[in-house]
Structures are given as structure tokens and as C-alpha cells.
Amino acid sequence: LEDLLKYHLIQIGATDIIQFRHQLIQEYYAAEELLEKLAALSNKALKWKYLNYLKWAEPIALMAGLASEKTQALRLVTLALEVDYGLWAMLAGAIREEWQAEVIAPISHLRVSPFMKTYLLGTVGSASAVTGLLTVFKDDDAYVRSRAADALGKIGDATAVSGLLTALQDDKLDVRCTAAEALGKLGDATAVSGLLTALQDDK
């Protein structure tokens, strides 16, 4: 606390109440506190008091990342899926990577559009979402294919290179451009040959 005061991250308010000067610090301590209380919260209370409120999204994502027990992390993500798909994707990407594939699996069964699935996988934003995003390149909608390429570029995982190289040959210009940009972000040497070929694109 003395260090936090020294570096102006907290301050003492009226009647000796601690006030946070930066929201992220406040959210982190809220996440730590909530994690300690997690076991005592029923599923209904967790959804009703926390998962259902936008103001708790960031602290809960931080808490998901702090969870050291798989059961805690899976519980959070599973309950989030019942509340809000966007929050679910956010938490799925926040938990430890070795648990992510298990919680991402239900996305294939969601009754949402291909665009929404692409958005959710992009929100997960980790290597666990790459396989799902690569399957989107088979979709008929060029805009969806383009968004998938963009998400893969932001994730930055090298396993996406082969799929993005295939997307460089897409019949739609926007998809080819986004795939090329994504490959540039990945910076993988194996993409150089395909990118050099793409330079011959007359469009």
C-alpha cells in the first residue's frame, strides 16, 4: 500500500478510505477479491450479480486469468455462455491456454451466423481459435472470409500461415488484401514466396 501511495496509484480519501486513481488497478484488486469469494457464490448469484453487468466484464476477465484451478475457469466460461456470447468469448480467451480448446468447442453448435462465429473466435484472440477461423475460409460470404483473415493476423499464430496463403488466391480482392496484410503481421518466412506471387496480382 505504501508503494501504491508513493507512485500515486491510490490515494487516501475522506475518513481514511482508499481511492484508486487508475481503473485498471481497481479492477485487478476487485478480481483478486472476487476470486477468493468465488467458491461461496452460487451459479445464480454469480450470473445475477456479476456476469450480467457490463461494468464487471473487465474484472471478471482478469479473474479468469488469475484462476489457478481448471474447475474455476471452466465454471466461469460455461456460465458466461448462458449470459452473453461476447462475454463468453472474452473469458474463453482469458483463461489458461491449455484449457481453452475445451471451452471453445461449443461454438460449433451455437445457432449464430458465420459472421458472429468469426467475431466470437476473434474475440477469443488466442491460438486456440485458429482452427475455427481457418474453417471460415470455406464460407460463401467474402466479408466473413475477410474478417477471419483479419482475426488471424491479430492473433499472430504461425499455424495460420497455410490457410492465409490459400486465402491469397481467393476470388475476392478484399479477402486477398486482408490475407496479405495478416501474413505481414505474422512475419513468418514461409509466407514470403506466396506474398511475392501475390505481387503479380493485377488488381
Q: Any idea what the Cα angle at residue 114 is, between residues 110 and 118, rounded to 5°?
A: 90
Q: What is the pTM of this model?
A: 0.83
Q: Which three cell numbers stand for residue 183?
A: 501474413
Residue 53: count of CB within 10 angstroms of its CB: 11
User: What is the pLDDT at residue 7?
Assistant: 76
- Going by pLDDT thresholds of 50, 70 and 90, the confidence category of residue 26 is confident
Q: Which three cell numbers stand for residue 85?
A: 456470447
Structure confidence by residue, pLDDT tens digits, 117-168: 999 999 999 999 999 999 999 999 999 999 999 999 999 999 999 999 999 9
Average pLDDT over residues 63-78: 94
Q: Which of 51, 97, 102 is nearest to 74 (CA)?
A: 102
Structure confidence by residue, pLDDT tens digits, 154-199: 999 999 999 999 999 999 999 999 999 999 999 999 999 988 888 8
Question: Does position 69 have pLDDT exceeding 80, yes or no?
Answer: yes
How far is Cα 148 from Cα 152, in angstroms, rounded to an integer?
A: 6
Handedness of CA 180, 184, 186, 189 (dihedral sign): positive
Residue 165 half-sphere exposure toward CB, CA atoms < 13 A: 16
User: Exposed (0-12), middle (13-18) or buried (19+): which is 100, by Cβ within 10 Å?
Assistant: buried
How far is Cα 141 from Cα 4, in angstroms, rounded to an integer?
A: 51
Q: Which of 149, 144, 151, 181 is nearest to 164 (CA)?
A: 149
Contact 149, 161 (CB under 8 A): no
Contact 50, 30 (CB under 8 A): no
Instruction: Write the single-letter amino acid at 159.
Output: T
The DSSP secondary structure of 41-59, one letter per residue, reads: S-HHHHIIIIIT-GGGHHH
Helix (H), strand (E) at residue 170: none
User: What is the pLDDT at residue 125?
Assistant: 94
